[in-house]
Structure 1
């Protein structure tokens, strides 16, 4: 889906771990595969959706980022794998983004497919940098959180790592509302959405509709995106309606 050529050695080191026909991929193999991505997506056929640098700002600053790959079949996301090199194996709900993890406990690999659940294992990426964020606050997020009775400060994370963290129970709600209407690229949500849904969570737009990945490179969605648990989904929608 994305034609991106990059020379970031960290990404190449991670992607080389993926095996094809029992052979390790070279740097040239990875770059060639990425540059051949010319699919427009849509409701028909099979399409691989790659997000090679999810959270560019976080990657540049040495913070959270993700590498996500998802398979779209007839307009539906059916499987995904996501590498989060900076995400501690220990829950971020426990560390609260303030404690450093030891190098051998940093880096997670998530994978899931329809009907099979979501799994996570160590990525074995050595890094012990603390997690920070430079997100711009959106007032509606805090308003909905208050209506849901959430008192804890939000865990702010760049990229689809938010989906990955939520899928393993690091949090209960991820809200994405923007100050101004803007298109949402499917590669920013495809892999993460199935990881959460296969872990038992819910991923919808602000009207309660499942995210529609069948319209091409951009999502067809209403107002915003809500990612939460089965238990909180109805309450989250009710809180959002009161605001609007």
Structure 2
């Protein structure tokens, strides 16, 4: 993957981050659902208005998809998969845990990823075969080899699931809490995947995979992590679940999640 394309994508994402940072306020509070939904939409639109023309100009042959909750297979070819505001619900409540995520997917395989946390000014990047980096420094996943010292996590990719999925999430939290040092449930999911890539967390699992997670998956893979489905097979962008982990804890975590 061209370093020029990565650099240009990074510039576009930083520009979008600057626009969103100017809109963001730690004092933001939403009085009700209607106002919250309006703010979510306005934030997504502000970021997309910057990214879409910039990325389309960089790769006009690549199709565009900014449905952050979308799942299932993609037609062949190149796609820009964009999550304009990962953790948007945090931003509209004045919390700093939000990001802007972009991946270029080719024939169902992520080949480029940029994930930017404007409040912390942390820029995560990855290219297929080129490694993962944080603000230019090479990333490596954790070297831990046992779950008893592991920081684990999961999250809610989208609202409105049925009770069965929420029950499964709760059961997995209980099981992993008994095996790992600490388990967090938080959004955005891509934030946790970035922390796994950086070695700050040791594993992340997900029962509701969405395509916009591809940027975080590539980060983990290029930082030396293992990403599989919950049967232990290769991760697939159209899959329903996955585990992203440091190699030393992946097998043990998989056993916990499938017991």
TM-score, normalised via structure 2 length: 0.59
How far is the alpha carbon of 1:11 from its aligned partner?
A: 3.9
| Alpha-carbon distance in structure 2 between the residues aligned to 1:109 and 1:195 | 11
| Alignment match, 1:220 | 239
| Alignment match, 2:187 | 158
| Alignment match, 1:13 | 19
| Alignment match, 1:191 | 215
| Alignment match, 1:146 | 178
How far is the alpha carbon of 1:27 from its aligned partner?
A: 8.2
Alignment of 1:69 with 2:102, yes or no, is yes
In terms of fraction of residues, the more helix-rich structure is: 2
Question: How many residues are aligned here?
Answer: 179
| Alignment match, 2:226 | 202
RMSD: 3.4
| Alignment match, 1:50 | 82
Secondary structure of the residue aligned to 2:219 is: helix
Alignment of 1:230 with 2:230, yes or no, is no
Secondary structure of the residue aligned to 1:143 is: helix
8 A contact 2:229–2:236 mirrored in 1: no
Q: Which of 106, 114, 134 matches 1:120?
A: 134
Q: Which runs of 5+ in 2 are unaligned?
A: 1-14, 23-45, 57-62, 137-154, 157-165
How far is the alpha carbon of 1:34 from its aligned partner?
A: 8.4
Q: Which runs of 5+ in 1 are unaligned?
A: 1-8, 17-25, 87-105, 123-133, 214-218
Change (3 A) 1:35 1:60: farther
How far is the alpha carbon of 1:225 from its aligned partner?
A: 2.2
How far is the alpha carbon of 1:241 from its aligned partner?
A: 2.6
